[in-house]
Amino acid sequence: MAMTPRRKRLVLFGSVLLGVAISAGIATLAFRDNLQYFYNPSEVAAGKVPAGKRFRVGGMVPKGSIHRETGSLTVNFEVTDFEHTVKISYSGVLPDLFREGQGIIAHGKLDNQGVFVADEVLAKHDEKYMPPEVRDSLKKTHTPDAPAPAAGANQS
Amino acid sequence: MNQWASFGEWLAMGGYAAYVWPSIGLAIGTLLLNMVMARRRHAQALQRALRRLAVDGNGNGEA
Amino acid sequence: MATWTWFHKLGSPPHVYRIAGRFAPWFGWGALLCIVYGLFGGLVLAPPDYQQKDAFRIIYVHAPAAWLSLSCYTAMAVAAFVGLVWRMKIAHAAAAALAPVGASFAFVCLATGSLWGRPMWGTWWEWDARLTSQLILLFLYLGYMALRSAHDDLQRADRSSAVLAIVGVVNVPIIHYSVYWWNSLHQGATVMKADRPSMPTEMLVPLLVMFLGFTLFQLWVLCTRLRAEILDRERNARWLQEQLREGA
């Protein structure tokens, strides 16, 4: 088939776009692990985290896991992805949304006892918004402690 | 609308006024800025075209 | 070939100049109405969120700004592609007309996101996939505009900037899916997904109206700036001189 100049340009710029898209896709797959903002507790348990280095761990704070040390700012709590759990120790200011059942992301290092010593704790919220009354009635009708899908729940 | 007891309470935004109002202000300001700049861009182009028309006079465009 | 007449009409500067002039007021007033109502609905009528309280109201400017910056870039890339392949000058003009509004709202999206992230997440900025890819979008816009102004020759400016616009469009799906592909601090989409929006009607309606308002505003800017581009590019054309003499 004869190629008109226009068709040639269509093929040229079409293949430029396709090429860029494919290389972006490959790069995305290749760097997938490096571009993770945080690790799940399961990844921590499997030893996939950088040894001896600072990293972030994210998950949901289970009910009853928050313990404040008296006389200091230190808070001990856990994060879970419902398969594995990481113990976290943190002293400092917590974000407004920090509470049981909330997704959080902690930045720090594992110590010798396997406790994650954090120097920064961020709250992660989900994409659902609702008025307080709706939330309250949902709580009454459904399982009261069903956690909102939190950090890491969308990622295996 | 019964959620706001007073105008002051609305302004306070439940303690988040320092974050909510700058966001709204920035968005409105950017809308206005885009409006002014686009209109000015059009007015200037129109001025140039009209001036050209006046200089060329009889309008023998090359098309 | 009758189906192609609309396409050729779309490439005709006099036709586009008139059409843009006719539609601009509708887009402009529509945008004003929608944005005024949307802000009133979002800031006054909508109930607070159960966990973020009134801080969640930032969504009424943050999400529409994000939408504008992404849709604007996509439109710009499509126009640039048409301009390159069909050698259609008006398409390049449209791409150039879209860049400033898209760039400014990419910035608004980042800045309002930062103002929202500080009280809710506990940080102004994190190098997470969503935030970083949105920052790259801003840089793509700035690069596009810088590349255009670096050329004195309009045709060269059109063509080289168009290549950048097309290459950069791969970033658009990356931004959207970043929160699903990677572990991210940013949450998933509330409205822009196949599922039902994760929001009750009284919160959702003002947000949708804001989306519509920002879209209409973007179209108004496109019409106004495109007319300016046509005036500059067609300055020697007979139709324009006739049009101006008639008083347009």
Which of A122, A130, A91, A83 minimizes the C-alpha distance to A105?
A122
In a domain, C37, yes or no: yes
pLDDT of residue C204: 95
pLDDT at C130 over 90: yes
- Residue of A9, A124, A135 lying closest to C50 (CB–CB): A135
In a domain, C123, yes or no: yes
Spatial contact of C191 and C197, defined as CB atoms under 8 Å apart? yes
Q: How many domains in chain C? A: 1
**C80-102 pLDDT per residue, tens:** 999 999 999 999 999 999 999 99
Average pLDDT score over chain C:
93
pLDDT digits (tens, 9 = 90+) for C176-188: 999 988 888 999 9
**Helix or strand holding residue A141 (H, E):** helix A132-141
User: Contact A89/A110 with Cβ under 8 angstroms?
Assistant: no
CATH code, C179: 1.20.120
pLDDT given at position B44:
96
Partner residue opposite C120 with nearest CB, options A120, A123, A154: A123
CB contact under 8 A, A155 and C183: yes
Chain C interface, best mutation among A8, A29, A37, by max C CB count within 10 A: A37
Look up the domain containing C86 and give its range: 16-246
Digit-by-digit pLDDT tens for chain A (156 residues) are 567 888 888 888 888 888 888 888 888 877 776 778 899 999 998 888 887 888 999 999 999 899 988 888 899 999 999 999 999 999 988 888 888 888 999 999 998 888 999 999 999 998 899 988 877 777 776 554 444 444 444 433
Give the start-to-end residue ranges of the domains of chain A. Answer: 41-141
What backbone phi and psi angles, to 5 degrees, belong to A129? -125, 140
The architecture in CATH of the region A41-141 reads: Beta Barrel (2.40)
Predicted-complex ipTM score: 0.93
